[in-house]
Amino acid sequence: MTDSDVFTQVDSSIAVAETPSWHRGVFDFPNPVNDYAARSTAGLVIALAIVAIAVDKPWLYGLLALGFALRVAGGPRYSPFGRLAVHVIVPRVWKRTKMVPGPPKRFAQTIGLVFSGCAFVLSAAGFGLAAQIVVGLLIVAAVLEFAFGLCLGCIGFGLLQRAGIIPDSVCEACNDFGRNRA
């Protein structure tokens, strides 16, 4: 491998490392996403979360967290729940498409990862009741998404974008959240 393979000359005095091509697209999140696929995934999360609360074993909270991590990493591509929602549930049950911006959905999945990850740590440390409460809150958010299409993480994303914490460039399609409402 030569220097020309790794670096691109910007000018005679500066060399900038190129992005390696092997990982391009590996952690891409779809944009836009089908809202019905997100809602279906939320329904599957509800089912697993209820089982996790009932059984109260760390590995179930870990499985829940792993699912969120896989969805954060690449949307439905790596997630069994995501794939089931996209390829089976939506075409056979919902039979509808409603495309919505992807970045707020990824943000919501990240919040789910934080909650389920905390539940895993709490359960593994012997604080089962605390883990159950955290996952109970996660269930509330998932029920709102599944039943009503109300994504609390997406609302949070919009509020953070409106406050300037998340740059408008992250989601041009959703950067006017709340600005056009009377």
Instruction: Kindly give the confidence (pLDDT) of every residue in the chain, 182 residues in length, as a single tens digit, with 9 standing for 90 and above.
Output: 444 444 444 344 444 445 555 556 667 777 889 999 999 999 999 999 999 999 999 999 999 999 999 999 988 888 999 999 999 999 999 998 999 999 999 999 999 999 999 999 999 999 999 999 999 999 999 999 999 999 999 999 999 999 989 998 888 887 655 444 33
Provide the token pair at 51: 């089982």
Full DSSP string of 104-132: HHHHHHHHHHHHHHHHHHHHHTT-HHHHH
Distances (CA, A) of 160 to 42, 73, 95: 23, 21, 33
What is the Cβ-side half-sphere exposure of residue 107, based on CA atoms within 13 angstroms? Answer: 19
pTM for the predicted model, two decimal places: 0.81
Beta strands in 7-108 (DSSP E): 7-11, 14-17, 33-34, 99-100
